[in-house]
Amino acid sequence: MKIRLVRDGDYAAIARLRKQTIRNVNSKDYSEKIIQNWLSMRSAQDFRKSADECKRWVAIENEKIIGFCEHNFECEVSRIYVHKNYLRKGVGSRLLEVAEASLEKLGCKEIRIESTITAKDFYKIRGYRVTKKTTFKEDGTTIFKMLKKLS
């Protein structure tokens, strides 16, 4: 597997991967209504438009994108998704390491994330602790605010 920065031609693939992962992986933890809402967001064009607001990487295996990750410029890992057929093979960890190293270089002393229920234990193992559990009134979505201090 190799990790590289996202390229303009990758956006359709990462938008598709995000949707597949939400449908097949996050759907175990969230209601159908929430899943449908997430699926209605984030087209390839939306990813392209936000290119200047974040730094984004893709994981590649056999020339296929199998995961992606991004951080914003406020010391926050904002997204990480791995394709359902490549879970628990270290892809998410490799992507997170790259994003963390990049944030450290930018001078971040701690890293924040808003985790899904699905990813909470993954982040815990990677040194993050829950600072707040939030359930949004509008649709009942639960997320966990998590934090890792960099040494």
Ligand X SMILES: CC(C)(COP(=O)(O)OP(=O)(O)OC[C@H]1O[C@@H](n2cnc3c(N)ncnc32)[C@H](O)[C@@H]1OP(=O)(O)O)[C@@H](O)C(=O)NCCC(=O)NCCS
Taking the alpha carbons at both ends of the chain, their separation in whole angstroms is: 28
Site for ligand X contains 121 (CB under 6 A) = yes
Site for ligand X contains 99 (CB under 6 A) = no
CB of 114 to ligand X, least distance (A): 6
CB of 77 to ligand X, least distance (A): 8
- Per-position x/- string for 16-55, each x denoting binding to ligand X as judged by CB under 6 A, each - no binding: -----x---xx-----------------------------
Q: Which of 87, 104, 142, 145 touches ligand X (CB under 6 A)?
A: 87
List contacts with ligand X (CB under 6 A): 21, 25-26, 80-82, 87-93, 113, 115-116, 118-119, 121-122, 125
